[in-house]
Structure 1
Amino acid sequence: MDEWLDVEYGQYSAPCSPIIYNVIVKPMHGEVIDQQVVGTNLEKLKKTLDVYEACLSQCKYLAGDVISFADLNYFPSTYYIMSTEYGSVFDSYPHAKA
């Protein structure tokens, strides 16, 4: 489980945070979205989702067949990304989306 927490911090939240900041926070402050930052981080996110998809096609949850803190740790970033126009990025990853 610890390795999935490390992956969440370094490989999942790292690209999610700039997307969330640019798409949700910046507009609230009247700032312009940096589409280059969003695009670059969407590509990074897709690479991470490729890994998750492979894992989740083998087991129900990241750390096995029972939900754990590792899975719950992904909820906040996932929630915010899915609430934006970029939430469709998860459509190509049915196991990760579930």
Structure 2
Amino acid sequence: MTSTSTPHAPYKQLRRPTTDRMVAGVASGLGRYFAVDPTLVRVLFAVATLVTGGLAALAYPIMWFLMPEEPAGAPAWPHPTDPAATAPTTWPQPPTTPPTAG
């Protein structure tokens, strides 16, 4: 039997990246997974640590231990599905045909 289903996009994986990290990559991995800036995750983590009297600081080494490290050759998440869709555009767009001399 053959399958006619369309291919699915790669699923998100919670991993510690090797390129965008401050200490162990926990905040960067969480930022990539939830599609937010890793700096925001770091600030929220610091605020949670202050509010809980340091109790939230125990979560960092636990996540460091539990989150797998991203393989060296893995592309950064999110994976671009269409290179043309992620190409930067300029404003205003240049004309497609050269103007004629008149």
Higher RCO (CA < 8 A, seq sep 6+)? 1
Q: Which has the larger radius of gyration?
A: 2
Higher helix share: 1
Q: Give TM-score, length-normalised by structure 2.
A: 0.30
TM-score of the pair, normalised by structure 1: 0.31
